[in-house]
Amino acid sequence: MKYICIKTAVIYLFTTLPLFASAFTQKVDITKSVMVGDRIAKFIPAGYDAKSIPSFAIDKEPREQGALPPNWELIPDFTSTNGKANASLSIPEGTSIYGGGEVTGPLLRNGKTIKLWNTDSGAYGVDNGKRLYQSHPWMMGVRKDGTAFGILFDTSWKAELSCTNQKIELKSEGVPFRVFIIDRDSPQAVVRGLSELTGTMPMIPRWALGYQQSRFSYTPANRVIEIADTFRQKKIPCDVIWMDIDYMDGYRIFTFNPTTFPNPKAVNRDLHIRGFHSAWMIDPGAKVDPDYFVYKSGTENDIWVKTADGKNFTGDAWPGAAAFPDFTYPKANKWWRSLYKDFLAQGVDGVWNDVNEPQINDTPNKTMPENNFHRGGGKIPAGTHLQYHNVYGFLMVKASREGIMDVRPEKRPFILTRSNFLGGQRYAATWTGDNGSSWEHLKMSVPMSLTLGLSGQPFSGADIGGFLFNANADLFGNWIGFGAFYPFARGHACAGTNNKEPWAFGKEIEDASRIALERRYILLPYFYTLLHEASTNGMPIMRPVFFADPKDLSLRAEEEAFLIGDDLLIIPAFANHPNLPKGIWRELSLVEGDKQNKYQAKIKLRGGSIVPTGKIIQNTNEKSLDPLTLLVCLDSQGQAKGTMYWDAGDGWTFKKGDYSQQTFTAEKDGNTVIVRLADQKGKYKTENNNMAVVKVITEQGIYHASGDLTEGIEIKL
C-alpha cells in the first residue's frame, strides 16, 4: 500500500494555459555585443535597462574586453511577443543539448521544454515538463566535434525554455534581458566558463561529505539519539542527523517544541559526543501570531511581502496563516540574518531552508499571487512577484548564509535549499526534492544530479530510498549501492512511510548499505579533492560519461553510468548495457565483498590516474589519511598522475596557505613502477607525513608497496 505524505498534502496536477501567444512577435535589434572573458560574449538588446532587471545569476559584473572576433558565429536573436521579451540561439546541426538545472526526464535535452517557475512538485512525474523547485536559465550545446557552447539568459522573470534540434529559446513574461554566450573547445571548458560568470560554491565543512540521515520527522529528542546510537552500534558510517519541521513549536520557525525538544542544546551536544553533526530546518513562512516573537518583530519592522493593494500578504503554510519576508528588501535581509544568533547558539551545525519557492497551500498556483509586491532596495528595484518569484529561495539562502557568517565567521556554513536559481551554488547546496520510492525516480536521479552539475550546482543528490511512499528492500539496496556516490548523500523518508534507515530492511540490506558507505568514506580524500576543485573552477563532482570523450557520440545520451571526477567510473547495479568510454578502465574493489554484493555499483579506475583514498572511518572527525593509499592505474605509456587536496576540514585558514595540495606521478620502468610526490603546495601537514601505501591496479592483478613518497615508492610487477 502506498501512503501519501502529509507534508505534500495533495499531489496536484500543475497545468497552465500556454504562456505565450503568437499574436504579435517582432524582432529586436542588438544594441551592444562585446567580449567579457575568454571566449565569453555579452549581448544586449534594444530596450534593456539594467536598473529595471537586476542580475542574480552573475556573481560579479564582468569587465568588457573589446569587440567580438570576426569569426564569432553564435549570435542570439532577440524578439518581443506582445511586449514580452524573448531570446533564441540557432545551433549547429547535430548539437547535443544539456542543462536547464533541476529538470525531470533525460540527460539529453533536445526536444524538451521546461517552465521556469519554481513550484512545489511532490512525487513529480518523469519527463512531463512540470516545473520543479528551481530555475536555471542556462543551456549547453556540444557539437559533433566535441567543442561546446553555452547560453545564459540573464532574467529572473517567469519564462519557458525550449530546445529543438535547430535552436535554444527562452520566452519570458518580462522586460528585455541580456544574454551571455560561452564558446570553447570542450564542454568542461564551458562549465568552467559558466562558473566565471556565476561564481563557484564555497568550501563546505568536510563533514557535509559524509553520509546523512533524515526523516520527516525524528521526534522526540531521544529518537534522534537512538538513530545516532544505532549507526554507531552497527558500525555504519554516518556524519549528520537531520531535523525536519516537527522539532518546532507548532511549526513556528526559530523555535523548539517545549515537550519533544525541551533542550535542543543537549541534543546537539549528545550528537557531537557521538561524532555527529546536526542540520535543522527553517522555512520562510512565519506564523501569524501576535505573541510569537518572529511574527511580532517582523511586523514591527514592516518586512513582509505585500499584496498588490499594499497589505501584508498572508498565505496558508505549515503553521497555518503565515507572513513571508520580502528578501528583496534590505531591511528584511538584515532582520532575517539577526534571527540566526540565538538559533545557532543551541549548537546547530547546518541549516535546511525548505518550501521556499515559496509553497503556499491556499492559492490556485500554490505560491504567492503574481501581482504581490516586493519593495526592493539597493540595486534591486521594486517589482511584482512575477519578476522575483524564481529568486525568492535564492535570496532567502543568501540572507541565511550571511546570518550564519555573522554569528560564526570562523566556520564554513552548510546550507541545504529546496528552491534556488542559477548561481545559487554561491549560497547553498541542493537536493532534488520530494521524490518517490520508485524505480523510475531511482533511475531519474542520475540525470537530474548530472544536469544540476552541468548548470553550475556541483553539490546535489536525491533522497536515497525515495522520500514519498514505501520502499522495499530491493529498491533501497539498489539505491544506496550507487547513491552513496552522490555528491550530497542523504537518506530521507516521509511521515506515513516505512522506516528507511540502512538497517530497516533486514541484515542483507544492512550489510549492503555498510559496504556502500564504507566505499564512500574510503574515497573521502578523492571526494574532498573534487570539492576543492568545484570551489575553484565550478567543475561538478558528479559528471556525465561523455566528459571522458566528448567526441564519442555514443556517450552523449548515457545517463545510467556516471563519472566521479575524471578518474572514477560508476556503473550502478541497475544499469542495462550502458555506453562506456573506451580506453583503459580497471575495476576496483575497495571493501571486502563489494564485487560479490549484487547491490553495489561497479567502480572503474581510469588508465593514467592516481586516486587518493583513506581508510574506513565511522565519521569525518576520525583521521582518514593514516594510512593514505594511492590507487594507480597506468595508461598505455606506463604513466599516471593524480592530486590530493587536504586541509583542516573547516574554517578559512586554507585561504592563508594552511592547506596541502600534492601531485603524485607514477612511471613504469621495466617491471618496476615508481610512484613519487612530484609537487607539494601549502603549509598544512597531513597526518600521513608523506608516507603512503601504493596499489597498482593491472589486468593481471594488484601489486602494492609502501614507503615515503618524497623518496619514491617502488612496486615490483
Q: Would you please indicate which residues are annotated as catalytic (active-site) residues?
A: 354, 357, 434
Task: Work out the angle between the directed axes of helices 507-522 and 524-537 (0-180°, nearest 10).
Answer: 60
Task: Give the HSE-up count for residue 359: Cα atoms under 13 Å, Cβ half-sphere.
Answer: 26
Burial class (CB in 10 A: 0-12, 13-18, 19+), 508: middle
Amino acid at 257: N
From the centroid of its chain, how far is CA 178?
26
Residue 586: strand pairing partners: 605
Q: CB within 8 A of 452, min separation 6: which ones?
A: 101, 102, 430, 432, 460, 540
What does the DSSP 8-state code read for residue 601?
A: P
- Give the single-character DSSP code of 195: H
Torsion of CA 156, 160, 161, 162, to 10 degrees: -170
Angle at 518 between CA 514 and CA 523, to 5 degrees: 155
- CA 704/CA 717 separation, integer angstroms: 9
CA distance 206 to 226: 24
Strand order in the sheet with 713-716: 702-708, 691-697, 629-633, 609-613, 639-646, 660-669, 672-681, 713-716
Beta bridge mates, 90: 167
Contacts of 453 (CB under 8 A, 6+ apart): 460, 487, 540, 541, 542, 543
What is the Cα–Cα distance from 570 to 397, expressed in whole angstroms?
32
Q: For residue 298, what are the contacts with CB-CB under 8 A and spacing of at least 6?
A: 286, 304, 323, 325, 335
